[in-house]
Homo-oligomer: A and B are copies of this chain.
């Protein structure tokens, strides 16, 4: 999988980010741990020099894990020294906070990459020991209605946000409905049983071509066994629980499901208008379940944060007046603003203090290895 990286690489890369973005510019006489690491562990910053090609990351048997841990310790010590007497308004403070948010993003990627690597192993090893419990409860589609109108979208302090969440601006929305719960595996099975993967009229053209080429007939990580569908999780292979939210679908599958259901996906603005009203709570990384869980079934919009990232019907375009971060950090988000689709709300692998209502995640519409799911919307 060319999009995935080994855990050792993630550890070294986040370390390199602190070294390069925080330490090197300010710490007098800071000596890089190893000059070659800049080449090995730069992910995509053209402004920071040439890089080791992404698909070759898996070949790096050197430096060893011990050496990477020593690298981390070296940078941790320098960070401690720097932070010891750092004023809150110092530019390095903001860069440190960015480094921490960057590392949180990689914490989620470590889990999704491990999940994919373990699934690629015919032995299907489990990452977490023990049995995973899940309730089984059937839910009918249900909706909350919203009036639309002019809505304030985007981040406006206090606290950290990425550049792509700014500037805060007004968006005009028509009245809309939003589903109370994410689509469940059981509902998705109805779509499959009704020929969902065989009916081109439900699919976007690029999605249909990709589905045909890849031979998709179910979400990623679903395996048919004699006793029925099973799902590979970080706890190993388990029988499918129809009450749990569907996860590991591409945007194409999400859009096809919505077309089949006679509904649509929400725009990112509709989503944010609703999420602004809710506190951040739910099945996030700290719960350490690492697998979406079933809805409680309340008569309110539920699971807006956590469980699964929700594909929106919004291409990842810049906000009006958007300005990227300064200097080499301009590459952090801005250069990816084409060909990607926005996801919202965080997943069971997202750190709790990393997510917020204005947070814009984005992946190509073909991506399936993130914890990506579906929430429906409709016109009022």
B330 with A201: CB separation less than 8 A: yes
Provide the residues of chain B in CB contact with A39, threshold 8 Å.
Answer: 122
| A321 and B174 contact, CB distance less than 8 A | yes
- Which residue of the partner chain B has the closest CB to A7? B61
Please report the C-alpha to C-alpha distance between residue A314 and residue B314 in the assembled complex, in whole angstroms. Answer: 11
- Whether A338 lies near B58 (C-beta < 8 A) is no
Bound-complex Cα distance A46 to B211 (A) = 14
The answer to whether A208 touches B46 (Cβ under 8 A) is yes
Collect the chain B residues with CB atoms within 8 Å of residue A47's CB.
Answer: 200-201
Residues of B contacting A59 in the complex (Cβ-Cβ under 8 angstroms): 58, 117, 120-121
A365 at interface, CB cutoff 8 A: yes
Q: When the two chains form their complex, are residues A331 and B201 in contact, meaning their CB atoms are under 8 A apart?
A: yes
Taking a contact as CB atoms under 8 Å apart, the answer to whether B120 and A338 are in contact is no
Q: Tell whether, in the assembled complex, residue B56 and residue A120 are in contact, meaning their CB atoms are under 8 Å apart.
A: yes
Assuming A46-B201, A207-B338, A315-B317, what are 20 further A-B pairs, CB within 8 angstroms? A36-B123, A40-B122, A46-B208, A52-B122, A56-B120, A58-B58, A59-B117, A60-B121, A61-B117, A62-B125, A174-B320, A201-B330, A203-B335, A205-B336, A206-B338, A208-B335, A251-B338, A267-B320, A315-B316, A315-B338
Contacts of A336 in B (CB 8 A): 204-206
A255 CB to closest chain B CB (Å) equals 8
Pick the 3 closest A-B CB pairs, nearest first.
A315-B315, A46-B200, A172-B172
Across-interface contacts of A206 in B (CB, < 8 A): 336, 338-339
Q: Does A318 sit at the interface, judged by CB under 8 A?
A: yes
For residue A379, CB closer than 8 A to chain B, the reply is yes
Question: Chain B contacts of A331 at CB under 8 A?
Answer: 201, 205
Question: Nearest Cβ in chain B — how far from A153, in angstroms?
Answer: 11
Chain B residues, Cβ within 8 Å of A313: 317-318
Report the separation of the CA atoms of residues A61 and B9 in the bound assembly, to the nearest whole angstrom. 14
Q: Is A97 an interface residue (CB 8 A)?
A: no
The verdict on A118 contacting chain B, using a C-beta distance below 8 Å, is yes
Alpha-carbon distance between A365 and B338 when the two chains are bound, in angstroms: 8
Bound: A336/B209 CA distance, A: 12
Q: Is the CB of B169 within 8 A of A170?
A: no
A372: interface (CB < 8 Å): no
A24 cross-chain contacts in B, Cβ below 8 A:
none
Question: What separation, in Å, do the CA atoms of A172 and B153 have in the docked complex?
Answer: 13
Residue of B nearest to A56 (CB): B120
A63 interfacial by beta-carbon distance below 8 Å: yes
CA distance A47 to B202 in the complex (A): 11
CA A56 to CA B117, docked complex, whole Å:
10
Chain B residues with Cβ below 8 Å from A201 are: 46-47, 330-331
Kindly supply a per-residue 1/0 record for chain A positions 39-68, scoring 1 wherever the CB is within 8 Å of any chain B CB and 0 otherwise: 110001011000010001011111100000
CA distance A255 to B336 in the complex (A): 12
Is A171 in the interface zone, CB < 8 Å from B? yes
Give the chain B neighbours of A36 by CB distance below 8 A. 122-123
